[in-house]
């Protein structure tokens, strides 16, 4: 049992490290070693994968090999940046499939979906990529919904769901209730408390 827990802990580390390293690649100053770090952390995920997920991870490694060879040229093309963000989503999806009961791995997925969709819109690629944007927004919303179903005891899950209730569903009343539930689970969750109070004030101004 301890050995099984240890292996699960290692896998969680490799998955989260892969996602964290990919996040670093989108900073204004891209460290030259970042691509290699991402690739190495993905390689460490491969032995834990089975079937289709193992094949997908191996393809990600091959893809990152190509990025690693000419990183300067790669980042000049916005479509390459979009492809890399899609890779981050794919890695998070694979990680969530490999560790379906791990909150730390499932939690970022909704964010990665909506963040990628928002980035594509922000760089003026909305027409060419509209189907992808719509798909990612819907999958982000569904991921947020799934999060509260799978992890009903996690305050952060309800905080994330409230965000999507506002951004995707334009339902501030629902968001307020989700924030309330978030605070019932964790009264010291400062960001949730701030968002709840701000939203309540806005709703009170509209409906005094």
Query: Per residue in 172-182, pLDDT tens?
Result: 999 999 999 99
Range of the domain at 18: 2-152
Here the tokens at position 150 are 């799978």
Q: Into how many domains does the chain fold?
A: 1
For residue 6, tell me if it sits in a domain.
yes
Mean pLDDT (the chain) is: 88
Q: What is the mean pLDDT of residues 26-45?
A: 76
The answer as to whether 188 is a domain residue is no
Looking at the chain, which runs of residues are DSSP E strands?
A: none
pLDDT at 143 over 70: yes
The answer, yes or no, to whether residue 4 has pLDDT greater than 50, is no
Q: Tens digits of per-residue pLDDT, 45-77?
A: 999 999 999 999 999 999 888 888 777 777 778
Give the separation between CA 16 and CA 95, rounded to whole angstroms: 9
Nearest in space to 159 (alpha carbons), one of 124, 189, 204: 189
Residue 165 lies in a domain: no
Check pLDDT > 50 for residue 1.
Answer: no
User: What is the predicted pLDDT for the residue at 208?
Assistant: 62
CA distance 133 to 151: 27
- Determine what percent of the chain is predicted with pLDDT higher than 90: 60
Given CA atoms 100, 105, 108, 109 in this order, what sign does their dihedral have?
Answer: negative
Task: Classify residue 27: in a domain, yes or no.
Answer: yes
Flag whether 160 is in a domain: no
In a domain, 103, yes or no: yes
Q: Tell me, yes or no, whether 52 lies in a domain.
A: yes
pLDDT of residue 32: 58
Residue in 152, 154, 70 with CA at minimum distance from that of residue 104: 154
What pLDDT is recorded for position 116? Answer: 92
Q: Kindly state whether residue 185 falls inside one of the protein's structural domains.
A: no
């Amino acid at each position: 049992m301890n050995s099984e827990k240890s292996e699960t802990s290692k896998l969680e580390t490799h998955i989260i490290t892969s996602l964290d390293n990919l996040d670093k690649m989108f900073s204004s100053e891209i460290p030259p070693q970042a691509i290699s770090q991402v690739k190495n952390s993905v390689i460490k995920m491969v032995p834990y994968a089975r079937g289709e997920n193992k094949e997908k991870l191996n393809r990600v490694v091959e893809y990152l090999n190509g990025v690693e060879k000419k990183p300067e040229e790669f980042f000049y093309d916005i479509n390459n940046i979009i492809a890399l963000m899609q890779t981050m989503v794919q890695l998070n999806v694979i990680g969530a499939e490999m560790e379906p009961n791990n909150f730390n791995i499932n939690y970022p997925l909704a964010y990665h979906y909506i963040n990628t969709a928002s980035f594509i819109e922000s760089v003026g690629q909305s027409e060419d990529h509209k189907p992808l944007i719509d798909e990612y927004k819907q999958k982000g919303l569904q991921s947020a919904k799934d999060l509260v179903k799978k992890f009903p005891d996690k305050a952060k899950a309800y905080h994330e769901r409230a965000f999507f209730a506002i951004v995707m569903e334009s339902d501030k009343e629902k968001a307020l209730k989700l924030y309330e539930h978030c605070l019932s689970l964790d009264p010291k969750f400062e960001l949730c408390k701030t968002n709840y109070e701000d939203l309540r004030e806005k709703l009170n101004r509209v409906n005094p």
